[in-house]
Structure 1
Amino acid sequence: MKKRILLFAVTLIAAGLGPLPVKSQDEGEQSHSTSVAGMVKLLEVEAQLIDALKDYAGELEKKLQAVRSGIASMRQESKRAQDSMEGYLSNPLNSFKLIRRMHRDWTLWQIFMDEPVGLTQVDSVQELREQMPTSTDLEEAVTALDRIQTTYGLTMADISSGILDGRQYNVSLSALDTYAMGQILFDEGNYASAAGWLYQSLVWLEDKNNRLPAPVEVSKGEVQAVYAETLLKLERHADALTVVNIALEGDKRNDIKMLLKKSEIETLIRMGPNTIVKAPTLKSTSTRVGEYERGCRGLFPSLSTNRKLHCLYNSSNSDFLRLAPLKMELVGLDPYMVLYHDVISASEISQLQEMATPGLKRATVYKSSASKSVVVKTRTSKVAWFTDTFNELTERLNRRISDMTNFELLGSEMLQVMNYGLGGHYDKHYDFFNASSATNLTQMSGDRIATVLFYLTDVEQGGATVFPNIQRAVFPQRGSAIVWYNLLDDGETNPQTLHAACPVLVGSKWVCNKWIRERAQLFKRPCLKRGK
């Protein structure tokens, strides 16, 4: 596998393009796949690349037309000479022209043939390479698609055909797509999933109607070689031998390589029994379905089954709500959790998105061991932060949050606007901090007493906020907001608030959240533990 990657890099260098840039997060890794809004510019870059390729084709066509025109003219003169060679050459004018053509014209044609075509377009592509995804981006995209497949229990065959959780979409994966999935998962040691994707690549290549353009085509023999190697890693020796035998019947160019592999597998089979591993190509590679996965799949009990929960117009939290009460739905009592409906308008949502898009950055998580916020695989989204006094909209939203929660916002964190990308998620976590490793900010402003989460968009599939310990799942509804308490009445942290953002299956998920600190709630919740 490393040899294939090295060969690819050498090919790029030989073509004068060089390898794609490799950037660390500190150097500005763009993490393209972690935000739908962030990926929009990739479509713009791709459009520019296609234009450059089109212009390159135009330059080739000009050169090709010149060659064909020259051929037609020269062929006509040559045919006249071929009909009577001696008669043709007996005329001194013909003889002179022949010698001149052979000495001068063909030298110029050789120079013309050697002349590179489309250098301007090649330079344009080179300039755009800085904006293209890196190997890290591709690995993150593979991980995201694998996360979607396992979390929602989807089959690889369905995903390849464009069927996502029972819905058919007008898109499918090619052999190149599924082969890339298999290659990268193989390199990561996820052999079971890799085998499933490589199998789908072979299924695609079996269809004679499917064609790949020459520069990017992949041979069936190459895929079969990697698939056999993957089956060997799974100790499915007999299956690997079958794949090798099929490859030997098809692609004769791989005979020596495949014969050596066949000999190796036969030796392994003779040395020990073949371990049968259930094929991973039909169902999710993970058979265990936890509470998190059940919540993401919408399998938690409906809120309507709990008679203690109800809906009402909240008009008591503030004087303003007496004039304009908010629609509130009680979601849970431990922790206290309410869902507000139609609490943020479409124009406010649009303005927030416009404000956030230019400054979206990869979301991070604070690590006490490192004493700083770092990028982690368990949180894939992009965020933008806004101070309470950033503009009239942020001031208005903060007043509304105060009305919704009846809390003071002094000392609380800034508004955070987030956009999730390909399989964007935030794994199971708590919003409160560990008091024993509290930062100066936590010691000064207190812990996060409550979380307010606005849903700025509907999400076609997936993207729920799930609370595994209490079997609650809230699916995004544009204009709604969920509020929950992270601390108990005595100020202790509440483990029932464990929650997660499920992977986005289809859609662009935008949210805005506010973490409210406890110190300012001295008179709002006087029963909080002393010393907090």
Structure 2
Amino acid sequence: MRFSQWLLPLMLLTYSCSVLAEESHSTSVAGMVKLLEVEAQLIDNLLEYADEMESKLKIVRRSIASMLQENFKARSSTEEYLSNPLNSFSLIRRMNSDWTVWQLYMEDPVGLKQVDKIQELREHMPTSTDVEEAVTALDRIQSTYGLKIADIANGNLNGKQYNVSLTMLDTYALGQILFDQGKYVEAAGWLYQAIITMEKYTLAAPMELSKTEVRSVYAETLLKLKQNADALKVINIALADKPHDIKLLLKKSEIETLIRTGANVAPEKPTTVRTGTPNTYQIGCRGQFKQSADARLHCLYNTTTSPFLILAPLKMELVGLDPYMVLYHDVLSAKEIEEMQDMATPGLKRATVFQAASGRNEVVRTRTSKVAWFPDSFSPLTLRLNARITDMTGFQLYGSEMLQLMNYGLGGHYANHYDFFNQTAAANKTAISGDRIATVLFYLTDVEQGGATVFPNIQKAVFPQRGSAIIWYNLKDDGEPNIKTLHAACPVIVGSKWVCNKWIREREQLFRRPCLKRK
């Protein structure tokens, strides 16, 4: 079996017999830094393996030189050479014992230490789940922003060219995994791209990839899409390279039978970009919402929310009135941001979402990021942040939730959701401190591309600006949830998105926002 034939199955193999913990590498850029460190160790390990092989090779070649010299001397004058008893004895001895030693030397494996090192590092390496999540992330980026597969493969992301491209192994893996997930349209596009890439480049052993193998999977994908005639064309192209391949011949016969006995769907060009009208969420993520012409939305220096702001006013932009939404600019310093990131990185864990059905927080595919939580009194910095939140909102923070620092990874996003719990479905979450009256979201970093916070119901989008913070009310004046606060975090295309948020509970705001209903 060729290496390429078991490469992807091996990559996709779930280590079911092990106790490896899922580190969820792709869900945080900060978390993926460790992968580069592990890869560096693996490369060093491979270099040691190469050194050992070269050392053994030098010994062999050096010995061969002296052997050839002696053998040439003997064959140049065979009778004279063998008539000397010393030469005869040496030849018999060499043939009897030296070659036994060489056999043992050749059988002695090289690099066992390095093989053990790879096994030792395997617990820090991505699992099949990580690979599948990474594939889903790239697929999410493509669909959300309407990108072409060929552009992505060649490093052109959303109109900007980067000095990076996907290899044929990358594109083939994307196609094969999407095929396994039943996403045949998307799989066809990536497999077609893999075939295009294979026409331009070849891979060196042991990573070579069989064109026949890729074309066979592509043909199978086209069959799933009922594009039987196109599938037959692909198989015929594969047979041109391997005319006696029994598997290809059988597949050709199978497809010809399908065409003869069933209605064939009209051939369709392989999909390299999703078609159709983008939904409101996608429009927002692409920055295509129309700008509001409401004259009541303006910028000002806030000097009134707290007495401290009289001395140090904050730059505030009124973004919306229903729900009430404001954006504060330059409320975090570079030093504070760096301290927050250093504080959070060691403790980042996969983000979860509260599920009313189970009454528990669970990992879900609709939220891909890592988070770390910090009590209000954790450090002088957290105390300052909470004081700043009070200055910005005018709310009492007693009984509210801890600060949450979050880092998004490959295609990191959070699908449409509400921040309020809705006490009828989550009474245990709101019994003590009430529901989430407001959300405060700090942006710790700029994001080169993507990563906006969008509100589909009111068609507003806020793109990350380092040091800014957006605040919105989740509840109406009467305390009822405001469904207009539906929002989402768009997938990050390029960049490392860091945010910090604080959910403020309603119970302590009785005298801060007195219109709320009493409970």
Q: TM-score under structure 2 normalisation?
A: 0.97
2:113 corresponds in structure 1 to 120
Q: 2:13, 2:128 within 8 Å by CA — same for their partners in 1?
A: no
Match of 2:421 among 409, 433, 447: 433
Answering whether residue 102 of structure 2 is matched by residue 109 of structure 1, we say yes
1:288 corresponds in structure 2 to 277
Distance in 2 separating the partners of 1:216 and 1:162:
22
Q: Report SS of the residue matched to 2:304.
A: coil
Distance in 2 separating the partners of 1:48 and 1:433:
46
Match of 1:229 among 214, 220, 237: 220
Answering whether residue 13 of structure 2 is matched by residue 30 of structure 1, we say no
Structure 1 residues 294 and 280, CA, compared in 2 at 3 Å: closer, same or farther? farther
Answering whether residue 510 of structure 2 is matched by residue 522 of structure 1, we say yes
Q: 1:182, 1:194 within 8 Å by CA — same for their partners in 2?
A: yes
Q: Report SS of the residue matched to 1:332.
A: strand
Match of 1:239 among 230, 236, 243: 230
Match of 1:453 among 434, 438, 441: 441
Q: 1:20, 1:129 within 8 Å by CA — same for their partners in 2?
A: no
Answering whether residue 408 of structure 2 is matched by residue 415 of structure 1, we say no
Alignment of 1:222-371 (within 5 A): 222-252=213-243, 255-276=245-266, 278-284=268-274, 286-303=275-292, 305-371=293-359
Q: 1:156, 1:283 within 8 Å by CA — same for their partners in 2?
A: yes
Distance in 1 separating the partners of 2:406 and 2:192:
36
One-letter amino acid of the structure 2 residue matched with residue 47 of structure 1:
A
Distance in 2 separating the partners of 1:265 and 1:511:
53
One-letter amino acid of the structure 2 residue matched with residue 503 of structure 1:
P
Q: Report SS of the residue matched to 1:416.
A: strand
Structure 1 residues 117 and 166, CA, compared in 2 at 3 Å: closer, same or farther? same
Distance in 2 separating the partners of 1:385 and 1:10:
38
2:72 corresponds in structure 1 to 79
Distance in 1 separating the partners of 2:339 and 2:209:
46
One-letter amino acid of the structure 2 residue matched with residue 251 of structure 1:
K
Give 1:20 shift: 6.3
Give 1:301 shift: 1.4
Give 1:273 shift: 2.0
Q: Which runs of no fewer than 5 residues in structure 2 stay unpaired?
A: none
Q: 1:327, 1:340 within 8 Å by CA — same for their partners in 2?
A: yes
Distance in 2 separating the partners of 1:369 and 1:198:
39
Distance in 2 separating the partners of 1:110 and 1:57:
21
Identity %: 68
Structure 1 residues 524 and 262, CA, compared in 2 at 3 Å: closer, same or farther? same
Answering whether residue 15 of structure 2 is matched by residue 21 of structure 1, we say yes
One-letter amino acid of the structure 1 residue matched with residue 336 of structure 2:
E
Structure 1 residues 518 and 27, CA, compared in 2 at 3 Å: closer, same or farther? farther
Match of 2:378 among 387, 390, 395: 390
Answering whether residue 139 of structure 2 is matched by residue 172 of structure 1, we say no
Q: 2:354, 2:360 within 8 Å by CA — same for their partners in 1?
A: yes
Answering whether residue 196 of structure 2 is matched by residue 203 of structure 1, we say yes
Q: 1:193, 1:280 within 8 Å by CA — same for their partners in 2?
A: no
Q: 1:157, 1:281 within 8 Å by CA — same for their partners in 2?
A: no
Q: 1:359-384: CA deviations, max 9, x gaps?
A: 00000001111111000000000000
Q: 1:149, 1:155 within 8 Å by CA — same for their partners in 2?
A: yes
Give 1:291 shift: 0.5
Q: Report SS of the residue matched to 1:520.
A: helix
User: Aligned pair count?
Assistant: 517
Q: 1:29-51: CA deviations, max 9, x gaps?
A: 11000000000000000000000
Give 1:439 shift: 3.7
Distance in 1 separating the partners of 2:400 and 2:40:
43
Which consecutive aligned stretches of 4+ in structure 1 deviate over 4 angstroms post-superposition? 4-12
Q: TM-score under structure 1 normalisation?
A: 0.94
Q: Which runs of no fewer than 5 residues in structure 1 stay unpaired?
A: 13-17
CA RMSD of aligned residues (A): 1.9
Q: 2:230, 2:267 within 8 Å by CA — same for their partners in 1?
A: no
Q: 2:370, 2:408 within 8 Å by CA — same for their partners in 1?
A: yes
Q: 1:397-450: CA deviations, max 9, x gaps?
A: 000001000001111000000000000000000000122122434111011000
One-letter amino acid of the structure 1 residue matched with residue 304 of structure 2:
S
Structure 1 residues 361 and 320, CA, compared in 2 at 3 Å: closer, same or farther? same
Distance in 2 separating the partners of 1:27 and 1:372:
24
Q: 2:4, 2:207 within 8 Å by CA — same for their partners in 1?
A: no
Distance in 2 separating the partners of 1:181 and 1:125:
25
Give 1:281 shift: 3.0
1:477 corresponds in structure 2 to 465
Structure 1 residues 5 and 412, CA, compared in 2 at 3 Å: closer, same or farther? farther
Q: 1:433-487: CA deviations, max 9, x gaps?
A: 1221224341110110000000000000000000011110000000000000001
Structure 1 residues 197 and 401, CA, compared in 2 at 3 Å: closer, same or farther? same
One-letter amino acid of the structure 1 residue matched with residue 25 of structure 2:
H
Structure 1 residues 402 and 280, CA, compared in 2 at 3 Å: closer, same or farther? farther
Q: 1:202-251: CA deviations, max 9, x gaps?
A: 001001xx232312221110000000000000000000000000000023
One-letter amino acid of the structure 2 residue matched with residue 353 of structure 1:
Q
Q: Report SS of the residue matched to 1:490.
A: coil
Distance in 1 separating the partners of 2:464 and 2:385:
19
